[in-house]
Chain A
Amino acid sequence: MNVATIKRMKDLPSTHLLGGGTAMCAGCGGLGVLHQIYDVLGTKTVFVNAAGCMTLLSTYPFTPFRGSWLYTAMACAPAGAQGVRDALDILIRKGRMPPEEDLSAVVLTGDGAAYGMGLSATSGAIERGLDFLYVCYDNEGYGNTGQQFSGATPHGALTATSMGARGYPGYKKDLFSIWAAHKPAYIATVIGAEPLDLARKIEKAKKLKGPRLVLALAPCPTGWLYDPKETVEIGRLAVKTGIWPLKEYVDGKVVHTHVPHPRLPVEEYLKTQGRFAHLFKPARNAELLSEMQARVDAYWANVS
């Protein structure tokens, strides 16, 4: 494939490489994204995984991957990718493995590892210029353990550890900017509900060398408390309300690949999910809702 391959929806692969029958929940936004990413990346890959929901994809003796997989631990998937990448380079350089046997190292983690415990290993890998793709499925909480809040949880969201009337008191960490501060080769935000945008970005990332991040917002029926059939619609609303900006970082510049216009009120997104139900019932929390709207407005006010 070259950069121009994917132009329209009909250019997207019609069959999936990733097998079915996994242990992921019905309507898992992360799994939807992984399907789409794997279709473009292909099987000449080693997925280096950190502890999270996706760890259960490869459960002895089954795996949905046609390529390779290595589970590490929660904090250190980028270091695992470092070891794999370095070893493959050594084998090729020393003539012990033909170059056509080479593989791409792909880190696959949730937001718990990407925004928190794994940040040190991630920062180190970027600083060393490691040639790897980091895929983060961000379901905005420690989903695999029952959706406790993480560094990726949005302000006000109810989680298993923020059950109060105002929900999570913190603010979602800006992982995109943290990565950008490291000046990596590429960063993109994606969402499964926008498959064309996603496929183009993965295709671009695939062609680049160096540290690359694909950060996917992953609607999570069990953690966000909604009916699994709504995953795609909630994803669309995340984009249309401007809550989840679709953007890229290339050559030191941030470019928005989609500017929602007109932007829907954030309420349209929030009201679809049980984790924000306390903003509407028993009484409408107008103050918090307008605070949330103001933050999204402020973000887009800075987008030229």
Chain B
Amino acid sequence: MTRQLLTGNGAAAWGVRLADVDYVPVFPITPQTEIIETLANWADRGELDTRVVMLESEHSMLTAAGAASVTGVRVFTATSSQGLLYAMEMLYNVAGWRAPLVMVNVSRGLSAPITLESDHNDIVAARDSGFLQIFCATAQEVLDSVLIAYRLAEDKRVRLPVIVNLDGFTLSFTREPVEIPIAEAVRAFLPPFQAENIEFRASKPISQAVAVLGGSPYSYFRYEMHLAAQEALAVYDEIADEFAARFGRAHPAVEGYRANDAELLFLMTGAFATKAMDAVDRLRAAGTGIGLVRPRLMRPYPAEALRRWLCGKKAVAVIDQNISMGKGGVLHTEVCEALYGQPNAPLLASFIGGLGGRDIPAEEFYAIAEVLRAAVMAGRAPPPRLLYTETELREMRKLQAIAHVERRELGNAP
């Protein structure tokens, strides 16, 4: 085991290297490129016995990934944002093929307007695809999650593809100390891929991904996927326990930080949760009994674990880095569902922030805590809030003023 400074992207590449992956079809997109460049360079230098192939789009990339997976090799791929959406048809397809591949998504906001910076709307769009989803907050977690993801994807009781998600820029390009496990220890945890009977061989003809006629067989196969994904909840716990026993690092489906004795909670996914942890420490020092709950697993949805953390608390602020137009925060909706009808459910407040690389500074976490306290006093949940400061709005007005002046000078004023 060695300790190195790695970016989130570098940690993802190391996870792939240790997982003994056979095949990596790729297509570049910011901020994912460092992963595929690193893997391609390792393969070129002979440090990695992996075939890296550049496809002409993410749609083809994921098709090749799924096809190779159901031919019987271990496959990795990575994308981001528009790439994930361009591949979306094939996400649903390869999940239906029960191709047990692992894909890293480096989260980035969706167009329009086009941006390079991070939020979670891309991965949320893939929510119902059949890919299981693991959200990471640190570079170490990215490496570990890639290994855990292969075990989960390839488990006979599951056999579904897995997305390991990390935040663009804030995690993908941030260097953190990462423990790199030794290869033998990883091999003991993650044995070579067993394709079972899902493979193409001359002596064993097989038809895969065939059409169905009518709703009955269609429903059967779709229900099978759903049940397998639900089964993945218990399988995940098993694998995470084994990982913790072998490597000494716990990655539960839902993680709590100073949450046991807290009355109030922040609830969020991904790298910005580390900012919430810092805010928790400072608020605790100032006497506020607050903690953080961070789901790592979003599909399968760990409703029971969330209930264990949340029920009995006074109020919970769900901070979504995504926005469902006309509805609000997707995570908030899902947490509501887990708590519905629970006798000791907390008040639930919805905040949307951190879209397209917008920061959520410490002051906003303090303000959110204040809203929670007020909600507890009032005894009812506050209306949803879109985080945006007066200063930001003033800066935005300045940009608009410039745009208007420029337009007038060019004679295009409306």
Contacts and interface: CB of A to CB of B under 8 A. Distances in A.
Interface string B68-94: 111111000000000000000110010
A59 B65 CA distance: 24
B51 A70 contact: no
A87 B73 contact: yes
Interface in A56-76: 56, 58-60, 63, 65-73, 75-76
A126 to B, nearest CB: 10
B210 A58 contact: yes
21 contacts: A43-B205, A55-B211, A56-B211, A58-B207, A60-B210, A68-B205, A69-B210, A70-B200, A70-B208, A71-B210, A72-B209, A79-B59, A82-B64, A83-B63, A84-B68, A87-B71, A87-B200, A90-B51, A103-B201, A121-B56, A121-B59
A89 to B, nearest CB: 8
Given A65-B207, A91-B73, A124-B57, 8 more contacts: A46-B200, A55-B211, A76-B63, A83-B63, A86-B23, A87-B73, A97-B201, A101-B201
B61 A79 contact: yes
A84 B211 contact: no
Given A59-B213, A80-B67, A83-B68, A88 B200 contact: yes
A79 B25 CA distance: 10
Contacts of A55: 211
Contacts of B68: 83-84, 86-87, 90
Interface residues of B, number: 41
B49 to A, nearest CB: 7
A83 B25 contact: yes
A100 interface: yes
B202 A63 contact: no
A81 B207 contact: no
B63 A80 contact: yes
B191 interface: no
A90 B22 contact: yes
Contact of A68 (B22, B63, B200, B211): B200
A94 interface: yes
A102 interface: yes
Nearest to B57: A120
B396 interface: no
B201 A121 contact: no
A272 interface: no
B211 A79 contact: no
A-B residue pairs, 10 tightest by C-beta: A83-B67, A124-B56, A79-B60, A87-B71, A83-B64, A87-B68, A83-B68, A79-B63, A76-B63, A69-B207
A71 B53 contact: no
Interface of A: 43-44, 46, 48, 55-56, 58-60, 63, 65-73, 75-76, 78-84, 86-91, 94, 96-97, 100-103, 120-121, 123-124, 127-128
B207 A124 contact: no
B206 interface: yes
Given A87-B23, A88-B200, A70 B67 contact: yes
A59 B210 CA distance: 6
Contacts of B51: 86, 89-90
B212 A59 contact: yes
Interface in B181-221: 200-203, 205-213, 217
Contacts of A81: 67
Q: Which of B54, B59, B202 has the most CB of A within 10 A?
A: B202
Contacts of B69: 83, 87
Contacts of A82: 25, 53, 55, 60, 63-64, 67
